[in-house]
A and B are shown apart, each in its own frame.
Chain A
């Protein structure tokens, strides 16, 4: 296969870190090429270098043998390179067709040519076989559809190389499947795809060639058929991944019990018990009501009705502070929006919920605070210059560890975790699993929502399956299989 894109000796330094260290990779024309690596390995940076968002300090990128030097992403687009971003970079307040014409609005003199705009949008969407109302406001559409629109835009602008940066991180199972079909189709049309992801299953499902980056260096590039799960993990983290194995926590008293929980439009008739030493997994499609149940238990849903008991006594509803006092904690799904105050330091984030416990007469006891923060910083092996580092600068995995540290510091008896390893690299992922297990060994109870079935099956003692806001089944650890869960989740 002739390379369409050659990356030669590309180096990029940021203050204090080398994001890319003379990376050499060749991408074959018409292939689907995976870029893998842990968070902070440099894969997203490399993607941004290719599409002109980031200027390398050294090295060149050759497209069809021609060295490219883009001063802005617009030039890259004209040269035939498009990018589908992790966070969608579109104007949510504008319609689909307006977004598809951004940067190149058709005009009649000084007026916008609405008809032409609509015609172009239809053509672009038809080309990739997606049916969307082009007049709809983009922000009102599901994320998956927004992504399709983004892809349509890139293809319509003549992209020969498309870079996908963690495209499935906010998609459901079936939406991801549809994206994969689209990528297959693009490949058949001769478009080269560069696919950045942590998710092994996707990589092996889609990609012909895999390149692994570690600490900014290129480690290996091989055909996907020559690699398997274990060798890939080893290349990514530079060591064998130790499997945490079976956990030997003893199941004890009921820690949390929920009876007849109902919130209009979200879920109804939810009842279950969670015992000390147990990890209870909640499976379901996106929108099945799992996150909403966690939020309701935690006091974030004022409209909820039903009975929530912690260690046998009623918790009440609608007050987060009360839940925290009763030693209930929640690691939310979206750590940047709900989990962290990004502008604050690690120490300040860790102690935020328990500050009243660390203060005397309103004055924060600094030494006490620092010791508490230090303890969990060390225990979770957060990789950062120190406790006083601002959390905005940490990698996803380390940010997630800070959120966990926050709730460990709050000494929760019941810890609810929502997608605890989303967007987290393999190394940090197994560490997070290990921490959850340690908690159960210490007699704590864990309630876990996850959309990754292997994760659910691997670490839950029991799994409750949600569909359409109701619990439709319970599966024990021994009976759990992906197939069985998917059947229950989708109701087929």
Chain B
């Protein structure tokens, strides 16, 4: 029984990615060196502060990567997530500014729930728009979401007049709650990421709707012949992705205390990269929520590695670009290797 469990674990598709992350972590711990803090020797990488830093940096686009993975599994793509993020953040900030009752410095349930609902609802609305356009117009989602990417960000720019708008300190307080940890440690975004990933994994792996998303991405025609409501499923995956962009926007804007139309510029590519590094196939039909989260973590870790190891930060883009391609090539190679072994 235990051996079976172990074997199943070793055959899990994410095992390679976990291996890479752990290896990178060990290398960083070894080569980063130590520093003195309040009389104690602390590893530059392997300390709660640095680890949580990676966690929160990754969390905002890991949350979107889970949604993006669902879109990619269905055979689609969504370039507008970064813009949805900015639009949700900006409009929520404007809404809050107009509601004096909700701008308190102390966290309140009303403040959290109303602003959260507004932000997530806006994301959902943007996603539904994408979904309806993609499923009704029968134009490739790359084109549709390329268009909405500019439109959403444009609306955010016009609405905010290009200015950064503050989020109430009460919300920042919630997102930066230490939950009993040391001062200066912020675990909330990380927990949110884990929660979204878990819900995403359950949705994809256990529910009827998740299975239908895999089927539509695997073979849309065969799914039509099996009676699946294709247009509804497609609309729903973009809606879900928009909703998660709204969640990320809420968490991110509250965490940093402000929203602007320039937020999350270029995030769509990080998000797609995370999904793909996490094993999602752009042909559709393949991918996991856990993979998306791990992919996001890996990308942030690589970025962090450049800082910790004091490499020239100007090379960051080059390193990340190479790492993404290498990760996907390795993932495919290991997939072939596993297939070969399973066939025997």
Contacts and interface: CB of A to CB of B under 8 A. Distances in A.
B323 to A, nearest CB: 27
B344 A15 contact: yes
- Interface size class on chain B is 20 to 34
Interface stretch (A168-176, A278-286, A333-341, A421-429): A333-341
A14 B226 CA distance: 32
Contact of B222 (A298, A323, A341, A364): A341
B208 A337 contact: no
Contacts of A339: 222, 225
A323 B207 contact: no
Contacts of B324: none
A338 B221 contact: yes
A344 B207 CA distance: 16
Interface in A329-378: 330, 332, 337-344, 348, 352-353, 355-356, 358-359, 362-364
B207 A15 contact: no
A340 B208 contact: no
B225 A341 contact: no
Given A362-B209, A364-B208, A352 B228 contact: yes
B343 A16 contact: yes
A324 interface: yes
Interface string B219-262: 10111111111000000000000000000000000000000000
A362 B285 CA distance: 20
Nearest to B281: A343
A14 B340 CA distance: 9
B208 A356 contact: yes
Interface string B196-229: 0000000000111101101100110111111111
A358 B219 CA distance: 21
B101 to A, nearest CB: 37
B225 A330 contact: yes
A317 to B, nearest CB: 14
A344 B343 contact: no
Interface in A287-339: 298-300, 320-321, 323-324, 330, 332, 337-339
B286 to A, nearest CB: 7
Given A348-B211, A362-B207, A332 B225 contact: yes
B211 to A, nearest CB: 6
B208 A359 contact: yes
Interface of B: 206-209, 211-212, 214-215, 218-219, 221-229, 285-286, 340, 343-344
13 contacts: A15-B343, A15-B344, A298-B225, A300-B224, A300-B225, A324-B226, A341-B215, A341-B223, A344-B215, A352-B228, A359-B208, A362-B209, A363-B206
Ranked 8 nearest A-B pairs via Cβ: A15-B343, A341-B218, A320-B227, A359-B208, A16-B343, A321-B227, A324-B227, A353-B226
Given A337-B221, A343-B285, A352-B223, 6 more contacts: A15-B340, A300-B224, A330-B225, A332-B225, A352-B215, A355-B212
